[in-house]
Amino acid sequence: MPIVTETGFQTEPNLSFRGVEALAENCKNLTLDVDPDTEVDVLSDAFSRIDLIRVHFDSFADGRGFSLGRRLRNAGYRGRLRAAGHLISDQFRYALECGFDDVEISDALATRQPEHHWIADAPARPTYREKLSDVSARLPEAQHAADRARSALRPVSLYKPLANVHEQVVTQVTHYTDGLFSFRISRPSTFRFRSGEFVMIGLPNAERPVFRAYSLAGPSWDDELEFYSIKVPDGPLTQHLQRVEVGDTVLVKKKATGTLVMDALLSGKRLFLFSTGTGIAPFTSIIRDPETYEKFEQVVLTQTCRTQAELEFGLNVVAETRGHELLGDIAGPDKLVHFTTLTRDDHPHTGRITTLLKDGHLFDAIGMAPIDAEQDRAMLCGSMDMLRDTGAICEQFGLVEGSNSRPGTYVVERAFVD
């Protein structure tokens, strides 16, 4: 009886399987046969004593076993899970996606549907479900997709190391307001990124951890990685992430990407960085990168928040940049202009950046000429609304959106909101 695994057909020594009645005997290392109508409650108290559960499929058209597999995994079963009986090769990936490790088929079926039929059916790409729960599935890199598909197959209900993920240690956490915090983690020696890019991060708290796109808020030369985040009470990731402490583990996917990078902009004289809320994160990376000042004569960072306290992270980074032993000389107040505006609290400048751009207030306040498409470039990061409205204004100034493959005169981060 061949056992179909992701790598092909395997044989194994004959195991003796027993029915659920064996649970009563208090033995360990059980190998059980169960029917698809088995209730999970019958097994759940004994999960730690079970090595292998074999779910029987009477007919390939009877999909109950798939649901039972998913239920066992959701209930916390971490041992081997096997589908046995009549399954066809076209169902192999379904079985894997439902939490099964392998499929046992008859010799006759193995002859009719040989190994390569089963292997060909193994998933080569992420599924819609993964796409809906994880933004990284939309990245085109084939390798990345393949990594993801493999990681999704891990048949454990709690985190086990994933191939495309680095596990890193939290080194510092700073809380600014009830809704905002930043943290730093160790940097893998092989991790490379361009200032302004984002990466997927998650926590090792589930079979399939939730990953979210986070801008790398520190410059590319930093020994550590820095992130700036909101706290959403029910946010699938941030409700847990906001509780991280020094010494905790954070997962970082291996590949950083993004469009808020120098490569996506044509050369120019002034660089405008427009941010709202935590959208400042990619720009705190860019303003700390010496390359930025080699490419542009002046950098204007605008930061729009609701309250004074929400500005703190940005103000700290700018102050730190100006006081830095090397950066201080090239990022003085004449080179790096930081313009802050609030929409709720009182402040020297108030109102949305779109309004201040339209009525010219911004340019008056910083004492500069309005945007000139010939020599000025812009980057945008903020909410969907902000991106849409500010993008429209950039277009009115004659700027043209660029990308990594076709540099332009302004860029927007589309994979990143808030």
User: Rule CB under 8 A: is residue 119 a binding residue for other proteins?
Assistant: no
- Could you tell me the smallest distance in angstroms from the CB atom of residue 265 to other proteins? 24
For residue 404, the SS3 value is coil
Which residue's CB is nearer to other proteins, number 265 or number 380? 380
Cα 248 from Cα 184, distance rounded (Å):
11
**β-pair partners for 180:** 177, 230
Does 209 bind other proteins (CB under 8 A)? Our answer is yes
The reply on whether position 147 binds other proteins by CB under 8 A is no
By CB under 8 A, tell whether 137 contacts other proteins.
yes
164 part of the interface to other proteins, by CB under 8 A = no
For 233, half-sphere exposure in the C-beta direction (CA atoms, 13 angstrom radius) is 1
> CB of residue 13 vs other proteins: minimum separation in angstroms?
29
Residue 211 · residue 136 · CB < 8 Å: yes
Residue placing its CB nearer to other proteins in the complex, 157 or 341:
157
- Is 68 one of the binding residues for other proteins (CB under 8 A)? yes
State which residue, 87 or 299, has the beta carbon closest to other proteins.
Answer: 87
Q: Under rule CB under 8 A, which residues in 36-55 are in contact with other proteins?
A: 36-37
The neighbouring-strand residues paired with 55 are 34, 83
Q: Which helix (H) or strand (E) holds 295?
A: helix 290-295
384 touches other proteins by CB under 8 A: yes
Contact 379, 411 (CB under 8 A): yes
Residue 222, token pair as written in the block: 């930093």
Return the H-helix or E-strand segment holding 54. strand 50-57
Q: Please tell me whether residue 340 adopts helix, strand or coil conformation.
A: strand
Q: Which of 210, 280, 311, 411 binds other proteins (CB under 8 A)?
A: 210
- How far apart are the two ends of the chain, measured CA to CA in Å? 54
Residues in contact with other proteins by CB under 8 A are 36-37, 60-64, 66-68, 70-71, 73-76, 88, 90-91, 93-98, 112-114, 117, 120-121, 124-129, 131-135, 137-138, 140, 157, 205-210, 212-213, 234, 236-237, 239-240, 384, 415, 417
